[in-house]
Amino acid sequence: MNVKHNLQELTNIATRLRLHVVDMVAPSGQGYVQQGLGAADIFTTLYFAEATMDTANPSWPDRDRIFLTTAHNTAIFYATLAERGFFDVEDLATYVTDGSSLEINSSERMGSFVEATCGSLGQGLSVAVGCALAAKRQGRASRFYVILGDGEMQEGQVWEAAMYAGAQRLDNLCVIVDYNFVQSEGPMNLVMSLEPVMHKMESFGFACQEVDGNDIESLLSAYDLARETKGKPSFIKANTLMGKGVASLEGLMFHQLRFPPEVAASARAELEAQL
Amino acid sequence: MNETLTQLEAADFINRSFKRLPRAYGDALVEAAKVDPRIVALCADLVPPTETDLFRDELPERFHNVGIAEANMIGMAGGMARCGEIPFCHSFCAFITKRVFDQITMQAAYPNLPVKIVGFLPGVTTLLGVTHQAIEDVAIMRSVPNMAIFEPSGPEYHATMVKLALDWNGPVYLRMKRPETTPADFTPQKLEIGKGVLRREGSDITIISAGLCVGESMTAADTLAKEGIETRVVDMASIKPIDQTLILESAARTGAIVTAENHNIIGGLGSAVAEVLVEEGIGLPFKRVGVMDQFCEGGTTSYLMKKFGLDATAIVLAVRQVLEKKE
């Protein structure tokens, strides 16, 4: 069930996911293109290399669980789930249309591969901590991955959950913060800086690593190290570039980007050239 | 194969695609703040969506984007109010009520401080889905002592909401909906605390409504008029304190009442109206239109209003059912 790929394969998967993101958001302009492009490598490595799951039985109790707590980053999330085999790739075309379960904010009404409904920011880590505690009690080998937003870490509940995870030495928990440095109102340091976030998480009892969140090999090594770390939960600060893979969008500072057809066509052409 | 754009070209296309929405509430808040130096604005990282961008730009020393941290925002607002300021706190309805309910009760309502809680995205009206939908907010906020609740039926009333919030000497919840278009030519009636607005006169039945459902009720009344049913329509913009006099007078005059709200049928406007009637010993044909005690989903507003039975069609149906019982 755990499908290991070589680097070239994973790179191609990431590009395919990015193309889906562009195609999904282009028709309505609704969705988070830059965030999806930026997080594509995190999703690729977690779902196609690191986590053990069973697409035929998504609620398999011994699965690894991935919580997307920035639940608005759904274009990349749904593209990943579909390519991983949880539902048909054709369904991606219904993204953000009336009546489709592929909503902007992911909801567990889609199926148990949405591990919790997390669009109200700051709640997901607590749920993951609860699952991780239960798994320890039940003697399961499952691991729990949380894709957290950097802006989301301003919510107090995140720190309550982190404090408990550290105190409980939850080494089956791995928090990956998608550190793209942009929140709704702009760059994080202009709103409320998180820094020094590594020191903060260290002091909460986490084993911390900082990686290039758009470097597949670095992400895989970070997960390896996290898995080998005993007696502490792991925190991976994955620095990502919003718009990664589409030069015309890389680093543009929009949280809610509009996606005019001209820009979408250009993005698609750039990505296709990379396949 | 398409030509690819440079970053500058892409940014230009993107910048030109942003649509400017009207900002009657936000403009009125700035106007009031320029007159009253006690007014400050707080926002939990949703500045344009809560119309506070002008405040941020014009009165930066009295504006705080507190980050994605609503609980802290309400607590700080309590502190500011204790020190003589009038804080207006902004986020989406779901987050600024449900998420911080305990902080609201203890740091704003119990000390009866002028903390003004301003939410956007009322009820079902958002693509953003169940996490961002507030179908319970009126029910819980109505249960808080000292709290007043006002909901405008359209952008024409947005500026007045600032005045009502200031007129109430205590905590207030404003349930706002961002206008998608410029208001039509429409002369708003005067809004007062504890008063409903009579939007249409009729003798067969009364529809008591608030917010987005007022427009739907007016459309429903037009449809019903063609069937010879004369409908009185009340805009209950002051949900708490509610206009008891107008409710009782409507009951006496029309003998049947339908309520319509963009909220769960439990605990909201319909419940408030029923409480008034029952406490006066009035039994009459009555029905609540609203979300039927279920969670919703994201979608366009018109789609959701239809799917969850909040539109004019649903109101017409409810009126017909109630009138069958009246005879």
The answer, yes or no, to whether residue A29 has pLDDT greater than 90, is: no
Q: Which two tokens mark B134?
A: 């507030």
Residue B284 lies in a domain: yes
Cβ atoms of B200 and B40 closer than 8 Å = no
User: B127 with B48, same domain?
Assistant: yes
The DSSP output letter for B57 is H
User: B213 with B279, same domain?
Assistant: yes
User: B221 with B301, same domain?
Assistant: yes
Q: What is the mean pLDDT of residues B229-234?
A: 98
Mean pLDDT of chain A: 94
Partner-chain residue, chosen from A96, A263, A270, that has the shortest CB–CB distance to B14: A263
The answer, yes or no, to whether residue B18 has pLDDT greater than 80, is: no
Residue B37 lies in a domain: yes
| Residue B7 pLDDT grade (very low, low, confident, very high; cuts 50, 70, 90) | confident
In this prediction, residue B11 carries a pLDDT of: 82
In this prediction, residue A113 carries a pLDDT of: 95
In this prediction, residue A5 carries a pLDDT of: 61
Domain boundary among B145, B176, B207: B176
| Residue A185 pLDDT grade (very low, low, confident, very high; cuts 50, 70, 90) | confident
Cβ atoms of A49 and A4 closer than 8 Å = yes
The answer, yes or no, to whether residue B79 has pLDDT greater than 60, is: yes
Residue B183 lies in a domain: no
| Residue B56 pLDDT grade (very low, low, confident, very high; cuts 50, 70, 90) | very high
In this prediction, residue B13 carries a pLDDT of: 81
Q: Which two tokens mark A251?
A: 């680093």
Give the nearest chain A residue to B4 (CA atoms).
Answer: A266
- Give SS3 for A223: helix
A119·B7 Cβ contact <8 A: no
**CA B285 centroid distance within chain:** 26
What residue type is B211 in one-letter code? G
A272·B13 Cβ contact <8 A: no
User: B76 with B150, same domain?
Assistant: yes
Centre a 10 Å sphere on the Cβ of residue B143 and count the other Cβ atoms it contains: 12
Residue B1 lies in a domain: no
Q: Which two tokens mark B281?
A: 């010993």
Which DSSP helix (H) or strand (E) runs through B14? Answer: helix B7-17
Domain boundary among B147, B176, B205: B176
| Contact residues, chain A, for B297 at CB < 8 Å | 101, 103, 107, 109
Q: Which residues span the domain enclosing B119?
A: 17-176
pLDDT tens per residue across span A191-206: 899 999 999 999 999 9
| Residue A255 pLDDT grade (very low, low, confident, very high; cuts 50, 70, 90) | low
Cβ atoms of B117 and B175 closer than 8 Å = no
Q: Quick one: how many helices (H) and strands (E) in chain B?
A: 13, 12
Q: Which residues contact A66 (CB under 8 A, 6 or more apart)?
A: A46, A47, A51, A115, A145, A146, A147
Query: How many Å lie between the alpha carbon of A266 and the closest alpha carbon of chain B?
Result: 4
ipTM above 0.90 for this complex: no
In this prediction, residue B1 carries a pLDDT of: 47
The answer, yes or no, to whether residue B2 has pLDDT greater than 70, is: no
| Contact residues, chain A, for B14 at CB < 8 Å | 252, 254, 257-260, 263
| Residue A2 pLDDT grade (very low, low, confident, very high; cuts 50, 70, 90) | very low
| Residue A3 pLDDT grade (very low, low, confident, very high; cuts 50, 70, 90) | very low
Q: What is the mean pLDDT of residues B196-225?
A: 97
CA pair distance B140, B226, nearest whole angstrom: 38
User: B58 with B27, same domain?
Assistant: yes
User: B141 with B231, same domain?
Assistant: no
| Contact residues, chain A, for B128 at CB < 8 Å | 72, 103-105, 119
User: B55 with B140, same domain?
Assistant: yes
In this prediction, residue B6 carries a pLDDT of: 86
Residue B99 lies in a domain: yes
Q: What is the mean pLDDT of residues B163-174?
A: 98
User: B320 with B226, same domain?
Assistant: yes
**Residues B120, B122, B123: CA angle, nearest 5 degrees:** 155
Centre a 10 Å sphere on the Cβ of residue B283 and count the other Cβ atoms it contains: 8
User: B319 with B225, same domain?
Assistant: yes
Nearest to A17 by CA among A72, A91, A83: A83
User: B128 with B223, same domain?
Assistant: no
Residue B271 lies in a domain: yes
User: B88 with B137, same domain?
Assistant: yes
Cis peptide before A233 (omega within 30 of 0): no
Centre a 10 Å sphere on the Cβ of residue B50 and count the other Cβ atoms it contains: 28
A247·B127 Cβ contact <8 A: no
The DSSP output letter for A194 is -
Which residues are paired to B89 by β-bridges?
Answer: B42, B117
Burial profile A76-92: b = 16 or more Cβ within 10 angstroms, e = fewer: bbbbbbbbbebbeeebb
How many A×B Cβ pairs under 8 Å?
Answer: 126
Query: How many Å lie between the alpha carbon of B132 and the closest alpha carbon of chain A?
Result: 7
Mean pLDDT of chain B: 95
| Contact residues, chain A, for B131 at CB < 8 Å | 71, 105, 107, 117-120
More confident residue, B182 or B304: B304
Q: Which of A84-98, B18-32, B83-97 has the lowest mean pLDDT?
A: B18-32
Q: What is the mean pLDDT of residues B28-53?
A: 96
Q: Which two tokens mark B310?
A: 């909040």
CA pair distance A22, A266, nearest whole angstrom: 10
User: B172 with B201, same domain?
Assistant: no
Residue B41 lies in a domain: yes
Q: Count of domains in chain B? A: 2
The answer, yes or no, to whether residue A4 has pLDDT greater than 60, is: no
Residue B317 lies in a domain: yes
Q: What is the mean pLDDT of residues A36-65?
A: 97
- Give SS3 for B256: coil
Domain of B260: which CATH number?
3.40.50.920
pLDDT tens per residue across span B108-153: 999 999 999 999 999 999 999 999 999 999 999 999 999 999 999 9
Which DSSP helix (H) or strand (E) runs through B318? Answer: helix B312-326
Domain of B138: which CATH number?
3.40.50.970
Domain boundary among B122, B142, B176: B176
In this prediction, residue A1 carries a pLDDT of: 34
Give the nearest chain A residue to B15 (CA atoms).
Answer: A258
